[in-house]
């Protein structure tokens, strides 16, 4: 699947499950750039904001769009 927002784009395999709420995309932690066919991981989609607790990183959520990978613009 093609998953993107205004910060970047990643290509991910799709698995539909009743464990994840409808309308939610869940990507497991631990992907590496070398495992990505377009050189990006889900970190590219996370905003650069800081958490209100100790100004730590806030990589827990990001709004994204999802489409089949063959629906790339211009194809």
**Mean pLDDT in residue range 42-69:** 82
Confidence check: pLDDT of 12 > 80: yes
> What's the pTM value of the predicted model, to 2 decimals?
0.74
Across 4-40, b (16+ Cβ under 10 Å) vs e yields beeebebebeeeeeeeeeeeebeeeeeeeeeeeeeeb
User: How far apart (Å, rounded) are the C-alpha atoms in residues 57 and 20?
Assistant: 24
Average confidence (pLDDT) over 38-45: 85
pLDDT, mean of residues 35-58: 79
Would you state the pLDDT for residue 75?
A: 53
What are the domain boundaries of the chain?
Answer: 1-67
């Amino acid at each position: 699947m093609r998953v993107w927002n205004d910060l970047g784009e990643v290509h991910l395999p799709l698995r539909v499950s009743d464990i994840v709420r409808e309308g939610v995309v869940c990507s497991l932690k631990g992907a590496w750039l070398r495992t990505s066919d377009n050189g990006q991981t889900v970190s590219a989609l996370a905003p650069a904001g800081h958490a209100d607790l100790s100004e730590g990183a806030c990589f827990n959520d990001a709004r994204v769009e999802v489409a089949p990978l063959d629906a790339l613009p211009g194809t």
